[in-house]
Structure 1
């Protein structure tokens, strides 16, 4: 039942994801889970445990990731300029879908809504937070300031991970370096392309094979302690 959310926000989410691909690994321009410059860090930095997991995903859609917040439901947000009509259709579709969900609740009851929609959607949202963070956060993998960032450097800062039994279910997106270096490679070719990339450029490979949830907890704690960087820092590495 999570699919309607993917469809309904596809325009604004596609645009913010495109922005992420164009600025991957850039401290000053990336889209989410980036290190924050000290001068732009709020006086009291509050991080929900694990970024709030599923709750954090919906908060991200509404407010974006601070301090550079992209409000996905704001039709006038600068990132969406030139795509007003498409974003308006997505927003109208979301409103219509909310009306459908309310009809479903009135017809079949709240428990049915929770079982068929709310819980599955929350699981999906949690998965989005975990894999998005782990795609670009790991010890020794650098983030670059805009002064020295290049596209290739940024894309190479992506991290490959194996998601066990669900790896193929999520379209092999854990093989993330090739996805960023060559985004037009279809998901069903990512594993094959990754084999060739690792063979040709072994020194450039970032791969971790430890378990996903422990990795997420470990890196979240490191992020919470080390995510604030100096205004003149050109390279930031989690230690």
Structure 2
């Protein structure tokens, strides 16, 4: 990579930065993080090797089995912790167990998300069947969420049509204050029941217009979740409610916290633009996301934080995102958004910026958080 192409728009500072030295420089990006010239999706795709777009069942299933084995191993560890006689040990180790198990449940959710996009395999039936099982395991109706999530991908960065955590126009503001940190895991459950903001959507009773052509898939997915609830009821008969709460309900809550935090941080950052519908196009919208690093858990949760290229090409399997991103950054450094700030401080900072700046004028054409 030559010196002229070594710059990205670093959303941590809101300035053009050198990839390795962090030197300030101007490289075709306006001061608000909007590139002066946007290439076509075909031009961007040409910069990424063809093999990055290909998934294999063998490799994808490897991650499914790996996560399942880790979840079972952690369950055994948690069972030992729950049964141990030492209150001190139980108090110290239980939060660790819950966090790690919740992290793995989120990893399972991400694999279901890959099925959603068809990046798990080239077989649609396998993707939908496995995705239904994986998402039901974390109490998510696969097909309704598949449709709403694709709606998000089709309208990313569009403040008038996007799905979640979008700026809200004054005319649509219902003056309800946001729960602290969006309610984290409770916020995820609320989203499945009500949607977000003024654009309401119930994933459990899919009467919304975007579900109209997918009623059968939605009903089947909800039915599978119902079967899973029945299995959990049988588990309660065998092991007791305390065991269910300890081993499942708390980790699922942690998984929901991940979903809220990760989704919000994908599309909320300083100088990351949101567009009005008449000022939006697909490529600009897809580029209006930010890559973040989740440290030692980045690979555990299947590189979901490597997000710009995922939005550009959701067909790329998670295990090829890093390589595809390397080529994208080399070819189009002026389009790159990266924030390396630690996740919890970044989430806290952006939540309060969002809470205070998310209400926009009715005629706003572009919005970014200062």
SS where residue 277 of structure 2 aligns?
A: coil
Matched, 1:208 2:357: no
Matched, 1:16 2:145: no
Structure 1 window deviating more from structure 2 (67-76 vs 148-157): it is 67-76
Structure 1 window deviating more from structure 2 (99-108 vs 205-214): it is 99-108
1:102 deviates by 2.0
SS where residue 28 of structure 1 aligns?
A: coil
Alignment of 1:152-231 (within 5 A): 152-231=283-362
SS where residue 207 of structure 1 aligns?
A: strand
1:104 deviates by 1.6
User: If the length of structure 2 is used for normalisation, what is the TM-score?
Assistant: 0.63
Distance 2:135 2:310 in 1: 20
Q: Structure 1 unaligned segments of length 5 or more: list them.
A: none
Q: Structure 2 unaligned segments of length 5 or more: list them.
A: 1-70, 72-104, 109-132
Distance 2:216 2:204 in 1: 13
1:145-193: per-residue Cα shift (whole Å, max 9, x none)? 0011000110110100000011011111111000011111111110001
Distance 1:73 1:165 in 2: 34
User: If the length of structure 1 is used for normalisation, what is the TM-score?
Assistant: 0.96
Which residue of 2 is the match for residue 68 of structure 1? 199
Distance 1:46 1:101 in 2: 35
Look at both structures and tell me which one has the larger radius of gyration over its CA atoms: 2
1:30 deviates by 0.3
Structure 1 window deviating more from structure 2 (197-206 vs 87-96): it is 87-96
Distance 2:134 2:318 in 1: 21
Which residue of 1 is the match for residue 135 of structure 2? 6
Matched, 1:109 2:109: no
Alignment of 1:38-53 (within 5 A): 38-42=170-174, 44-53=175-184
1:76 deviates by 2.4
Distance 1:102 1:173 in 2: 32
